[in-house]
Every structure is written in C-alpha cells, then in structure tokens.
Amino acid sequence: MQHNTGNTVASAKTYSRKDTSLNRDIIRWAMNAPYLEREEEYQLASRWKGDQDQDALHKIASAHMRLVIAIASKFKTYNLPMADLVQEGYVGLLEAASRFEPERDVRFSTYATWWIRASIQDYILRNWSIVRGGTSSAQKALFFNLRRLRTMLAQENEDMTRTEIYSRISSKLGVSVNDVETMDFRLVASDNSLSAPVGQDDNSTATRGDFLVDNRPLQDEIVESEIDSERRSQWLARALKVLNERELHIIRTRRLNDDGETLEALGEQLGISKERVRQIESRAMEKLRQELLSYNDAGAYEG
C-alpha cells in the first residue's frame, strides 16, 4: 500500500510543534517510554502501513523519541535551538515510519536513524548561517565532518600547518582545498545582525548598521551631476558653432573622438603639415575657451 509521504510530513510538523516542545516533561516522557520488542514493533508497523492506524504510529514514535533526542544532542555545537533540532528529528522519524517496510528483517531504530539524522542535517544547512553552504553530497560531508577531521589531524601531528590540514581534508572528502578553506571560515565566523546594538549601554540606540559606510553618491548629488553634465553638453554644442569648418573637423577628430587622430594623420587628410594642424587646433581651443567663459560671465548657466 502506498502512503502519501507529503501529507505525512506536513502532519508531522504540525504534530511535532504541538507535542514535542523540548522541556523536562517531554524528555522524561521520552526516556520513560517503553521499548518495543521485535514482534510488537512488527505488529505496530504493519498496522500503520496497512491500515494507517494512528494509534500504532503514536506508539512507534513514542518508543523512539529517545533516539531522536540522542541524535539531536550530537548537533548542539551548531548553536541552534535544541527544541528545533528535536522537532526536525521528529519529522525525520515520521518520514521513516511512512517508508518503513516491516517485512524486511531490520529493526525500525536502525532504519529511522538515517532519516532522523538527514532531517536534522538539512535543517542545520538551511538555518545555521546566513551565508549558505553548498548542498551537494560532498559539501554536506565537508560541513558535518570538517571540525572532526581538523581536530583529529591536528592531534596526530601538532606541527602540521593549516594548509597541510586543508590539503588532507580535501583529499579525504573529494573537495577542493578552496572549498575546505571557505567552509572553515564559515564555521569559525558567526553571523551578526546589522540591527544589533553597539556597546553595552542600555540607552544607546546605535546599531552596527549605523557605522556602515555607503560610498554611493546621494540622490541629490546624482541629480546635480546629471544637470551639470547636460548643461556642459549644451554649452559645448553652442561654442562649437564659432569654429570654421576646418577647425571644427580638427577638434571633433582630435578631441571629441575616443580614438583621436594623430597630427600627422590629420595633416595628410587636409593636405597640410602636422605643425599647421597643431596651430589650428591650438587656435580653435582658445576660441572655445573664450566662448565658454563668455557664457559664464553672461550667466548662461542660469538658463
């Protein structure tokens, strides 16, 4: 008989939030729940699989909550709420129950362990850090084994450098040295909220975000710059009208072109020497300067 796994997991999350809040009573209840003998476990699993017997599911889950808590406690070093780890482990437990085949010669606890651990690990990867780690199997292995391997290698050889340790871990887990180094930084560094207060003064309202420098120009500066640029373009267009045809050609080709022509090339085009081109250009630039200064003196920038 096929089960709707999605519905089972959805109901599991609702059920877990309601009934597995981690407090002393729940832990005591989990630890005092009776163990299931193999035959009883088989009968309960068969009732759940064949008839969707909710009472059978409840008994299986209750008997294995101590397993969920034990596995969740191994992930406390990631500084996530223990209640959330247990809740996610419980989701994995019910997922295992929905997939378990009692006719196979394996105890439910053995089968459920993988699902409980996988559910908790997925939760940690989603929530442990704002800076997300990779989701490939190799990246997951790196995330959950890096600390252990780093400590083990350091104990084996105290003289081993960090680079050598990264290289050994890289070879063992089949990831790049850069991946190891990046993940190590993520594990060591912690996420800090920009809204977190600065200092210990209760009356202080300053936050970390207040001290971030934004190098982008202000909006009024952007608008002012755009207006000035437009005005300069208008002034230049008007000033160019004072030049004769040859002067205009030289200025456009030499000064207003990204790839300005050389004096020699222009001289060949116009049939004059490059020195003559330089003289014409110099005279044209002076005429433009005088014209633009007259706009400023006359208050042209106001119109």
Residue 42 belongs to a domain: yes
Q: What is the mean pLDDT of residues 263-274?
A: 89
288 with 234, same domain: the answer is yes
What pLDDT score was predicted for residue 215? Answer: 66
Residues 111 and 174 in one domain: no
Same domain, 122 and 12: yes
Looking at the structure, tell me whether residues 181 and 287 fall in a common domain: no
| Residue 32 sits in the same domain as residue 112 | yes
The answer to whether residues 179 and 82 belong to one domain is no
Lowest mean pLDDT among 11-25, 63-77, 200-214, 280-294: 11-25
pLDDT value at residue 135: 52
Q: Is residue 196 part of a domain?
A: no
pLDDT of the residue at 19: 40
48 and 151 share one domain:
no
Angle between helices 65-73 and 54-63 (to 10 degrees): 40
Write out the two tokens for 290: 């005088």
List the CATH number of the domain containing 23.
1.10.1740.10
> For residue 67, what are the domain limits?
5-127
- Residue 116 binned pLDDT confidence (cut-offs 50, 70, 90): very high
| pLDDT surpasses 90 at 288 | no
The pLDDT tens digits of the residues spanning 7-54 come to: 444 444 444 444 444 556 677 777 778 888 989 989 998 998 888 889
End-of-domain residue from the set 188, 207, 229: 188
Domains in the chain, number: 3
Distance CA 45, CA 100 (A): 8
Q: Say how many CA atoms lie within 13 Å of 185 toward its Cβ.
A: 7
In the prediction, which pLDDT does 298 show?
Answer: 54
271-283 pLDDT, tens digit per residue, is 999 899 899 999 9
Domain end call among 99, 127, 155: 127
298 assigned to some structural domain: yes
- Asked if 90 and 65 count as a contact pair (C-beta separation under 8 A), the reply is yes
Residue 21 domain-assigned (yes or no): yes
Looking at the whole model, is its pTM more than 0.85? no
Centre a 10 Å sphere on the Cβ of residue 170 and count the other Cβ atoms it contains. Answer: 17
- Min mean pLDDT across 14-23, 141-150, 252-261 is at 14-23
Pair 15, 85 in one domain: yes
Neighbour count for residue 277 (Cβ, 10 Å): 24
Q: What is the pLDDT of residue 237?
A: 85
Pick from 48, 62, 49: which is nearest to 15 by CA? 62
Instruction: Indicate whether 302 pLDDT > 50.
Output: no
User: What is the rounded distance in angstroms from the CA atom of residue 246 to the CA atom of residue 270?
Assistant: 9
Q: Is 213 within the bounds of a domain? A: no
The whole-number average pLDDT for the span 170-175 is: 80
Q: Are residues 121 and 148 in the same domain?
A: no
Judged against a pLDDT cut of 80, whether residue 254 lies above it is answered with yes
3: helix, strand or coil:
coil
Residue 112 and residue 29 share a domain: yes
Q: Is residue 274 part of a domain?
A: yes
Q: Which of 137-141, 173-177, 251-255, 261-265 has the lowest mean pLDDT?
A: 137-141
